[in-house]
Chains A and B, each alone.
Chain A
Amino acid sequence: MTKFILGKHSSSQFSQEMESIRNHLLRMGGLVEKQLGDALEALLNNDSAVAEKVLITEDEVDELEKRIDEECARVLALRQPAAIDLRTILAVSKCVSDLERIGDESAKIAQQSLEQEGELPMSLVGVKHIGHSVKHMLNSALDAFARFDADKAIEAAAHDDEVDTEYQAAMRSLVTLMMEDPRSITRVLNLMWVLRSLERVGDHARNICEQVVYLVKGKDVRHFSVDEMLAAVQNKRHGGEPE
């Protein structure tokens, strides 16, 4: 693992502020992860109580988003962070938006589950599968952030390609379903929205992974394929510092 955890700042208050930002981001990540899990549960088990819970959590997530952004702005203004600290602030403020969007997508899924009348007729295997994948991605991304682990982040990002493939396949089968039984169109469309949301969650989780790579390695790997990411990270810094 990369040894990036440096000692404390000469200003202990600065250290505390940075620690607080990281902690708040991880707390927000935890909340959003729970939201996503609950939204899927609500949909799959047709449980309206759980769906309500997801919607209520939204406020808390939004509040944390604003709070973290404020903390970042404060550190930028008062501490003029550099190097790892600067990268932390930049990465966190980007991750915060992605997390908030994942929260939004989860809320949309919860909303869909509330609107669906009775059992969904068709198989939910696709949703279950993709849901599981993106949940795992998000979990790994947050874990990589907490541990400063760029390798793990890239590994998690790699799953996004699988999610996209599964998404395409699930969409095709739903189109077939609508053609076979036009009466199902409304309900299938709802399901398509859910799939779409999950696919977006995968994209946001991947964005977080990219920010972790930036945070740890200082390399901007946005819009890179997984292979390009790996190459960028392996192209070590010239300093010859020990790993």
Chain B
Amino acid sequence: MQKAPQQGRDVKLSARGVKVFYDDTAAIKGIDLELMDKEVVAFIGPSGCGKSTFLRTLNRMNDTIKGCRVEGEVLLDGEDIYAPSVDVVMLRARVGMVFQKPNPFPKSIYENVAYGPKIHGLARGRGDLDDIVEQSLRRAGLWDEVKDRLNQPGTGLSGGQQQRLCIARAIAVSPEVILMDEPCSALDPIATTKIEELIAELSSQFTIAIVTHSMQQAARVSDRTAYFHLGEVIEVNATEQVFTQPENPLTEAYITGRFG
């Protein structure tokens, strides 16, 4: 059951009856979920409950997985992203993704951020590109740490910095939605805090969906929390309510650590 969307916000991304099969096994058994514009939604649930699989349906990352089949509709601003006419590369520019492990390209810091805007033709000339790179790194909270070594390889940064570089890379193409798949699971607590603060800042400009195994993280960063259970969304509610007074006994069992 889904709580009425927050007042005054438009639906950005809407999943309707989404089912995902890996060969014959149903990983997602029919999910209806709406992400509002400039909202942070956390997906929580035990391992194997389908939250990452569902996240990947939102920008068609499952296309590349053999034997994976998606049913139902995913609408971005009302348009089906699985329609044959959709250019997947353009789609992923609008719906960006940050992965579990930081995965910068084996290129310089500058190139990592500049790559997307270049292939999408977002910059008119070098000066424009420089601006995009600086703005993206600033918004990712990384600029001050790397401004003097933009030509050094991105892989030479610390894990936390690499993850922020990946976020800078994701926002450089001005996406509308950012999907994050356990973005802090490989980071120490300080780096995690930085990413969480970043999420809070980014939420004023982007719609963010984040999969996390840290319930405290879900509680800290999100506006709403969706609890996934065996391929279904059991409960979606305001985060505060989910963590103090969940509606569903299964949610309660999970967040209080009583899940068998």
Contacts and interface: CB of A to CB of B under 8 A. Distances in A.
B247 A241 contact: yes
A218 B246 CA distance: 9
Interface string A63-82: 00000000000000001111
A6 B253 CA distance: 7
A82 B244 contact: yes
A10 B244 contact: no
A25 to B, nearest CB: 19
B244 A81 contact: no
- SS class of chain A's interface: helix, strand, loop or mixed? loop
Contact of A86 (B3, B244, B248): B244
Interface string B205-222: 000000000011001000
A85 interface: yes
Nearest to A15: B258
Given A80-B216, A239-B1, A241-B248, A7 B243 contact: no
B257 interface: yes
Contact of B257 (A14, A218, A238, A240): A14
Contacts of B248: 239, 241
Interface residues of A, number: 22
Contact of B255 (A14, A83, A218): A83
Interface of A: 6-11, 14, 79-87, 218, 237-241
Contacts of A86: 243-244
A82 B217 CA distance: 13
A85 B244 CA distance: 9
B247 A238 contact: yes
Given A10-B258, A10-B259, A11-B257, A83 B252 contact: yes
A87 B215 CA distance: 17
